[in-house]
Amino acid sequence: MPINSSGPDWVTVVPRRIKESNNLDLSQGSGTFPSGHYYRDQWKPRNFKIRQFNDPDNVTECLQRKVVYLFGDSTIRQWFEYLTTFVPDLVEFNLGSPKKVGPFLAVDQKHNILLKYRCHGPPIRFTTVFSSELHYVANELNGIVGGKNTVVAIAVWSHFSTFPLEVYIRRLRNIRRAVVQLLDRSPKTVVVIRTANVQELGPEASLFSSDWYNFQLDTVLRKMFSGIGVYLVDAWEMTLAHYLPHKLHPDEVIVKNQLDMFLSFVCPLET
């Protein structure tokens, strides 16, 4: 039923309580909800400005002379797929790996960019994985030297939806310890955590997943990595706030915004 206007009204504009800043450290633990909004399909965080990487040359300039490690499930594998599709000079090197599993490798020799993806260790719901390729994220982090030209992004949540919360907590504790050790030996390393996201829940997916339980995983992840000097890409809010249908693997416009935020952490705006 249409709701007709009962008469004229007014809007009171209240001064901003939170000062907008280019300081991305505010993303660490602001605790604000919602963390941002969309305007013309561009994500606008509440507390800071992010750059828009609308041209492949902008991405190349940001990642020049850097080694980028992507660890986790298929939701961060999307970042690898987007970058290798969007940036022409970033050419995937065929390692003969299974399509969903990896590992994957892409190289831009001209600009000295190395991009790597590796799935996390078990539990994992991919169809077939060689045992030799089941590497734990914590072990991989222990093998990284780090430095100002090293970037690490981690997303671990989707495959834990059928396990007790204690299993997820133990896994995150190990990853957290490895992240702290990495930042201790190489403080200039950029570490980014991608949160969980809402998804479509059809008859099959509902048997092993739910947004309610994934929200519990996401809450644990945020608490686990707060206060240790890592950045957070709030994929939960970025999928929840968009008008497109919820998907485990969000559509390209949402992935693009996630990567804009990720790249803004790597190459922040100059103050």
- pLDDT value of residue 27: 45
End-to-end CA distance of the chain: give it in Å, rounded.
Answer: 51
Q: Using one digit for the tens of pLDDT, what is the confidence trace for 28-37?
A: 444 557 889 9
Confidence of residue 209 (pLDDT cuts 50, 70, 90): confident
Work out the number of other CB atoms within 10 angstroms of the CB of residue 79: 23
- Whether omega before 103 lies within 30 degrees of 0, making that bond cis, reads yes
Q: Quick one: which H or E segment has residue 222?
A: helix 211-224
Cβ contact 236:242 at 8 Å: no
Q: What is the dihedral of CA 249, 252, 34, 31, to 10 degrees?
A: 70
- pLDDT value of residue 271: 53
Cβ contact 175:156 at 8 Å: yes
- pLDDT value of residue 219: 95
| DSSP assignment string, 101-131 | T--EEEEETTTTEEEEEEE--SS---S---G
State CA 190 to chain mean position distance.
13
Q: Report the mean per-residue pLDDT for the chain.
A: 90
Distance in angstroms (rounded) separating the CA atoms of residues 223 and 75: 20
Radius of gyration of the chain from Cα atoms? Answer: 19
Confidence of residue 130 (pLDDT cuts 50, 70, 90): confident
- Residue with the larger pLDDT of the pair 123 and 259: 259
Residue whose token pair is 């995937």:
92
Q: Using one digit for the tens of pLDDT, what is the confidence trace for 3-18?
A: 787 777 777 877 765 4
Q: Model pTM?
A: 0.87
Please give the domain boundaries of the chain with CATH numbers for all domains: 36-266 (3.40.50.1110)
Work out the number of other CB atoms within 10 angstroms of the CB of residue 3: 5
